[in-house]
Amino acid sequence: MDVTKPLWELHILNVKTRDAESLFVFKIHHSIGDGASLISLLLACARKSSDPNALPSVPVKNRRARRQGVWLIWAVVRLVWNTLVDVLLVNATVLFLRDTRTPIKGPATGEGRNGKRFVHRTVSLGDIKMVKNAMNMAKWGWGNWIGNMMIPLTIALRDDPLDYLWSAKATMDRKKHSLEPILEFIGARILPMVFGVKATVGIFHKILSNTTLAFSNVVGPVEEISLYGHPIAYIAPSVYGHPHALTIHFQSYCNMMTISVAVDPEVIPDPHVLFDELEQSLIIMKGDVTLKFPKKGPNVGWKEIL
């Protein structure tokens, strides 16, 4: 780490975009905090546009009844088994296991020294919720509220576009019955004390080098906010400095979902094509859901923010 550079910077750019008159650019070192804590810090500095004295509100998870009896025993058994498998998978990734080479995987050296290009688009959050609710993807029991986890990325062509969602839901349901994120968090705290900072950095760099991409999502405010009197039109977080050639962030704000990507231009020279594919996939999935559940919402609408 270059100690001569500040850990955070704020740039105000008088550049007009399609949705904003100017831009706030926050450049913050990851040692300050993760995405959730940094968004929380931003919200603590912001106020509701409708009430300049009130802090922003974020969605609240409804509590569900706890399982009892045989179901509780089965849930504990699943939790232990899934955790054991996931921990072995993480250790194997550190030692020898790596993803198959694909067009979206980063350089074989894993250095990640190429510059990153940042692009984002905004989609209606209501459209995403419509697909989610139609396929019962909001239900979950045992859960991890924050953390890192390794998720399989399957490359396949399927007849039913919703099969991709069913597969993703099955994966996430299983991951929610695992202590992998919590153990990774504990390991990140213990490893520097046992092996030192350099060895810990090497371990995490190995994981990033042996995997294909990073995917993150953070919950934002449910109403419009302002920052010191300046109304916020959208929030588009991203990250750079790691070996991945593709990193995708989902950030909710009001009734919108901003999808931002950081790409290695030598691997993905035109990220707008990637967004076109994401757009088409969502349109196809929503169209299929609309046919099977005709009472669900309007057509999906995307808009690009340059």
Q: What is the pLDDT of residues 273-283, one digit of tens each?
A: 988 888 888 88
pTM for this model (two decimals): 0.81
Per the prediction, the chain carries an average pLDDT of 81
When pLDDT is averaged across residues 213-240 and rounded to a whole number, the result is: 89
pLDDT digits (tens, 9 = 90+) for 182-216: 888 888 888 889 998 888 888 888 888 899 999 88
In sequence order, the 6+-apart residues with CB closer than 8 A to the CB of 164 are 158, 281, 285
Q: Which CATH number fits domain 70-225+239-305: 3.30.230, 2.60.98, 3.40.1360, 3.30.559?
A: 3.30.559
Position 131 pLDDT exceeds 80: no
- Catalytic sites, residue numbers: 30
Please state the φ and ψ torsions of residue 279, each to the nearest 5 degrees. Answer: -60, -45
Distance from C-alpha of 125 to C-alpha of 223, rounded to nearest angstrom = 13
Q: How far is CA 205 from the centre of its chain?
A: 19
